[in-house]
Amino acid sequence: MQSTGFKGNHEHADYIVTGAWSSKAAEEAEKYIKVKKVFQPSKPYVTVPDQEKWTHDEKAAYLYYCANETVHGIEFTPTAPESHNVPLIADVSANFMARPFDFKDHGVVFGGAQKNLGAAGLKIVIVRKDLIGKKQGITPAVFSYKEIIANNSLYNTPPTGGIYTTNLVLKWIKAKGGLQAIYELNLKKSGLIYGIIDNSNGFYHCAVDKRYRSIMNVCFRIGGASGNDELEEKFLKGAIERNMISLKGHRSVGEIRASLYNAITLEETQVLATWMNEFEKQYNTN
């Protein structure tokens, strides 16, 4: 939608590729516009090069990034990339409403509601007014910001159930003290798990650069940097016995992944922390 939604007279777009989702976005965009990656992505995805090393072009149609890479546990926080007056586009599907967010530096902010804002099927799109109406000629009306806005977001039948659910979630966030309170709670949850990892003498290992560790998705290996499949299977089995599910990492990378979205409480996170401490005490021979 971003690559067809606006292009103007520009011939290319710049992409910050930091993980699976920004990589897929760049691949899809190449069907509609020339894509330039501002740096050569690291493999595996564990960090983001300092911005002075990027080859960002001020003549680009836009600069695209994924605010939180769920598969690899990389997050741009607390500040967004510097776009040098080029429209900045952010995919915030995984951390929208998990922390305060500065919209003023962005041209487009979009994301699915399914992580922190409601049910799957609803998308939130926030567009700067001066970018409306700059679509490519091939853009379908349903992907045109101008058409969607002209029809009050009712160009086609909206997911009414999802919208209702999101309204309930927004009221819940407000009742919890607003975004700052939610953010502070998320820092406590992720800090609890990262603290155990960092103090395990290498038994638990998180490869992600500490500057870009996600507060939503804590990814780590057990038994060292390369992981020990047998230990990880034992850990996952024990977690299920303690009523914790879906801790296995994405199928493309394996490892362990603790997703600490807004709905996860501090008490639930402490259950995971207790199991991690117990497991380390039993199996860490370092």
Annotation says 115 is catalytic:
yes
Q: Is the dihedral of CA 111, 248, 194, 225 positive or negative?
A: negative
pLDDT of residue 6: 56
Annotation says 34 is catalytic:
no
Sorted by where each starts, the structural domains of the chain and their CATH numbers stand as 2-171 (3.40.640.10), 179-283 (3.90.1150.10)
Average pLDDT, stretch 54-76?
Answer: 94
pTM over 0.85: yes
Annotated catalytic residue: which of 115, 123, 130, 172? 115
Residue 98 makes CB contacts below 8 A (sequence gap 6+) with 115, 116, 182, 183, 186, 215, 216, 261, 262
Scanning the structure block, which residue is given the tokens 């709905």?
263
Q: pLDDT tens digits, residue range 259-283?
A: 999 999 999 999 999 999 999 999 9
Annotated catalytic residue: which of 14, 91, 135, 189? 91
Distance CA 112, CA 203 (A): 35
Burial class (CB in 10 A: 0-12, 13-18, 19+), 108: buried
pLDDT of residue 255: 92
Distance CA 133, CA 129 (A): 9
Annotated catalytic residue: which of 7, 14, 21, 189? 21
Distance CA 57, CA 125 (A): 25
Distance CA 197, CA 203 (A): 8
In total, the chain counts a number of residues equal to: 286
Annotation says 281 is catalytic:
no
Highest mean pLDDT among 8-17, 68-77, 191-200: 191-200
Contact 10, 60 (CB under 8 A): yes
Average pLDDT, the chain: 92
pLDDT of residue 140: 85
